[in-house]
Structure 1
Amino acid sequence: MNGAVVTVGAELLAGRTADTNATWLCRQLHDRGVTVERVTTVPDRVGDIARVVNEYRAEYDAVVVTGGLGPTHDDVTMAGIAAAFGRSLERSDEALTWLTEEGGYTREELTTGTADLPRGARPLHNEVGVAPGAVVESVYVLPGVPQEMKTMFELVADEFTGQPLFREVVVADEPESALVGRLEELRAEFDVTVGSYPGDGVRISIESADEDLTEAAAAWVRERVEEHDSEPPS
């Protein structure tokens, strides 16, 4: 299974807010064996949201969209999703009923448009906030508030499946340029994905769908590099 993540918000593009949602989602999807191939941030504009979502839903098995949910003037994500599918925005009786019966709100407390979703969407109830999310075919729409997004993702986490990957990290106490030849040998010797990341030492990340192969490749590296004495990050 492959996928894409789309985050919505002018505050992200202006650098006023760090896009922690994309990082968290990528980690969750990766841990479930989903290959994330695109992460894109778009402004709060219906046309931009619709264009990117329409492109990605045709190309990938799943698209996760976060941000811009709610009834205020700049919360236009649901309208963008509706436009991507050529559907109208309609009040979801299921979402409204949940908000009043389970969410603890009265209808008078809810701003007009709070429960508006693309026609035919499956509502995702917001257990720690107000604005509902939705699933439209292969597109999952979640809130931008991190805790709301994380809680809502758990409602659909089991729908993201793929081949789990095993990962080993070796931290080398050598310059990255000095490791090039050995990393080329590693790739030739083992059918694994290899990445190298300089920092406090050079983190050599080794991944594959075969746990034994991954461990063997990591052992091969450890025999051939000078290891850094710090613990590698997860």
Structure 2
Amino acid sequence: MNVAVVTVGDELLAGRTTDTNATWLCEQLDDRGVDVERVTTVPDRVSDIARVINEYRAEYDAVIVTGGLGPTHDDLTMEGVAAALGRDLEDHDEALAWLEADGYSRDDLVAGTAELPAGARALHNDAGVAPGAALEGVYVLPGVPAEMKAMFETIADEFAGTATYREAIVADEPESALLDRIAELRDRFDVSVGSYPGDSVRIELKGTDETTVADAAAWLRERVESP
């Protein structure tokens, strides 16, 4: 399964808010064996939201969108999703019923709070108010991290792929000095290799066979200088 993650918000592009949602989602998806192929941030603009969703839903098994939910002037994500899918926005009776059960009167809700693309499956917001939605492989989640995480947990089982295994090796050598050993490692073992320099170099091995990953890690540990 491959997925694209789209985060929405002018504040993200202006650097006023750190995009922790994308990082968290990528971790969760990777742990489930799902390949995240794209992470894209778009402004609070219907045309940009619709264009990116249209492009990604054609390329990937699912698109997860976070941010821009609610009834305020800059909450345009549902409108963008509806435009991408050629749907109208309409009040969702099940979402309204959930909100009433949570103590919100329909008369007290700001207009547009429970508007979702026609035909969407509503995703209840256990940690907030604005509902999410799922439709045609597009999943729309809130931007508030606590709300996003709680809502993702309700749909997490819909994202599954091939189990992957990881091992990390730390080398106290320059990254450039490790190139020959990494090349030999790739020739010997069916694993992917990532190299991340800092005070030392962290080499991460990943593969779908646990024994192969463990053997590759053992082979490399014997051939690098440890901190």
Match in the other structure for 2:135: 136
Looking at structure 2, the residues matched to 200 and 3 of structure 1 have their Cα atoms a distance apart, in angstroms, of: 33
Kindly provide the amino acid, as one letter, of the partner of residue 130 in structure 1.
Answer: V
Structure 1: which 5+ runs fail to align?
A: 229-234
Are 2:171 and 1:164 equivalent residues in the alignment? no
Match in the other structure for 2:214: 215
Looking at structure 2, the residues matched to 78 and 17 of structure 1 have their Cα atoms a distance apart, in angstroms, of: 21
Classify the secondary structure of the residue corresponding to 2:224: coil
- Give deviations 1:102-121, integer Å, cap 9, x for gaps: x2211232101100000000
Are 2:91 and 1:91 equivalent residues in the alignment? yes
The CA deviation at 1:128 is 0.8
- Any residues of structure 2 matched to 1:101-180 within 5 Å, and which? 101=101, 103-180=102-179
Kindly provide the amino acid, as one letter, of the partner of residue 73 in structure 2.
Answer: H
Looking at structure 2, the residues matched to 100 and 227 of structure 1 have their Cα atoms a distance apart, in angstroms, of: 59
- Give deviations 1:112-167, integer Å, cap 9, x for gaps: 11000000000000001000000011000000000000000000000001001100
- Any residues of structure 2 matched to 1:16-95 within 5 Å, and which? 16-95=16-95
Q: RMSD across aligned C-alpha pairs, in angstroms?
A: 0.6
Are 2:189 and 1:190 equivalent residues in the alignment? yes
Structure 2: which 5+ runs fail to align?
A: none
Kindly provide the amino acid, as one letter, of the partner of residue 85 in structure 1.
Answer: L
What stretches of structure 1 move > 4 A for 4+ residues in a row?
none
Match in the other structure for 1:231: none
Kindly provide the amino acid, as one letter, of the partner of residue 220 in structure 1.
Answer: W
Kindly provide the amino acid, as one letter, of the partner of residue 177 in structure 2.
Answer: A
Looking at structure 2, the residues matched to 45 and 212 of structure 1 have their Cα atoms a distance apart, in angstroms, of: 48
TM-score relative to the length of structure 2:
0.99
The CA deviation at 1:31 is 0.5
Alignment size in residue pairs: 227
Classify the secondary structure of the residue corresponding to 2:160: coil
TM-score relative to the length of structure 1:
0.96
